[in-house]
Amino acid sequence: MTVLVAGFLQKLIADNRPVRKRFKWIGRSVMSCFLLASAWVHAGNLSNQEFFQRLEQITNEVGQVVPRAKQLDAALWAGRIEDVERELDALVTIMNDLERKLRDLIGAADDQRTASMSAPVYWRILARRELMFRELCKSKEIASCESRTRLPTDASGARAKLTSLAVEAALDALSKKSYTEALKISENLSVFNDASAMRILGGMYANGLGVQQDYIKAASLTRKAADKGDCVAQKNMGAIYENGWGVVPDGQEAARWFKRGVESCIEPDDLYEGCLAKGSLGRLYATGQHGFREQGKEQEGVRLVREAAECGSEVAQAELGEWYLTGAHDLPRDLALAEMWLRKAAAQGSDFAKKKLAEM
């Protein structure tokens, strides 16, 4: 089943045929999605009368897309703008109704597994919808095209849940090194400027995971996510400016982004990322590396690194251990404290800490 889904989704996204044929394909594609969803539900012993009644209704309504698309394509070729606008509105109505019904269908799933497997399919269909309408709206003769084709704002909470499920699916694919799957999920979410998806894509381009390594593209994607308030992306932007990955190295800018990460990563799931940002900010303050030029920040930096070490940052623990070992930054030279922090870092896999412990 996974192979079938992956093959179908690859074809769905890669399709570059003319409008009529693409709409015909999306009609068949959506029907295929529903058949796959039916198989998932049946395989998971989740079938019930209401689910399959709704599934049949959606499948029947998908059939309306093909003739409408043919009329729209013909009108486009003939330059009949009024016909194009009329058919466009009708097609938007049909596809919005399909979106709502598909969203409701996934929401009615009896278990998390069905919903999690269906969420990426939902966003792939919507991304294809968005890109198709976006292409049509390039014609300046179609009045108010963008507002007419925009996805309705209703049920934002349900879409947010489906977004969350799709992001989790992308992260799960990354953890399993299924980079192609993670890339497709993230790319489709990024069509809607989803911050998490752009941050994931930025990380994939930075590390060359399933794509050609591209620091400039990684920095651009991460910046977009950071500007939308993603605290992990903000922390990552600090690292990008600190190391000069796709940008000119800038300690001041790195500190600014690390600080934003510290201030933003306050939700329970983000606390560790905030801890990492705090350690990185403290290191810049304490050492003045990478062109950081503010005076009087050294002791604040030591405090931040200590706080980061206490909340579990491996890097901060190793740094604090080394500072106690050498008496750096006005800390007392304390071998016991040095060994304690180095052992904590080594327990988390720090090679630097292991080397320092071996030298003691």
User: What digits encode the pLDDT tens for the residues 271-300?
Assistant: 999 999 999 999 999 998 777 777 889 999
Using CB atoms within 10 Å of the CB of residue 218, give its burial: 0 to 12 exposed, 13 to 18 middle, 19+ buried: buried
Question: How many residues make up the chain in this entry?
Answer: 360
Please, are residues 256 and 214 in contact by the beta-carbon 8 Å criterion? no
**pLDDT for residue 3:** 36
Q: What is the mean pLDDT of residues 28-35?
A: 47
Q: What is the mean pLDDT of residues 142-164?
A: 85
Q: Percent of the chain having pLDDT more than 70?
A: 78
Tokens at 212, concatenated:
């050609």
- 3-state SS, 120-159, equals HHHHHHHHHHHHHHHHHCCCCCCCCHHHHHCCCCCCHHHH
Question: Could you give the CA distance from residue 96 to residue 337 in angstroms, rounded to a whole number?
Answer: 62
Q: What is the mean pLDDT of residues 255-272?
A: 95
pLDDT bracket for residue 60 (50, 70, 90) = low
Most confident of 15-24, 27-36, 210-219: 210-219
Tokens at 202, concatenated:
């930025």
- CA dihedral sign of residues 45, 51, 57, 63: negative
**pLDDT for residue 130:** 85
The residues, ordered by sequence, that sit 6+ positions from 59 with a Cβ below 8 Å of its Cβ are 31, 34, 35
Question: Could you give the CA distance from residue 76 to residue 160 in angstroms, rounded to a whole number?
Answer: 35
**pLDDT for residue 53:** 64
Q: Against a cut of 0.95, is the pTM above it?
A: no
Tell me the pLDDT tens digit for each residue of 242-252: 999 999 999 99
Q: Percent of the chain having pLDDT more than 90?
A: 52
**pLDDT for residue 107:** 79
Please, are residues 55 and 36 in contact by the beta-carbon 8 Å criterion? no
Question: Could you give the CA distance from residue 254 to residue 114 in angstroms, rounded to a whole number?
Answer: 42
**pLDDT for residue 23:** 42
Tell me the pLDDT tens digit for each residue of 115-133: 777 788 788 878 878 887 8
The residues, ordered by sequence, that sit 6+ positions from 151 with a Cβ below 8 Å of its Cβ are 96, 99, 126, 129, 130
Instruction: Tell me which of 347 and 87 has the higher pLDDT.
Output: 347
**pLDDT for residue 341:** 97
Please, are residues 273 and 264 in contact by the beta-carbon 8 Å criterion? no
Instruction: Tell me which of 297 and 29 has the higher pLDDT.
Output: 297
Tokens at 125, concatenated:
């269909």
Question: Could you give the CA distance from residue 92 to residue 132 in angstroms, rounded to a whole number?
Answer: 11
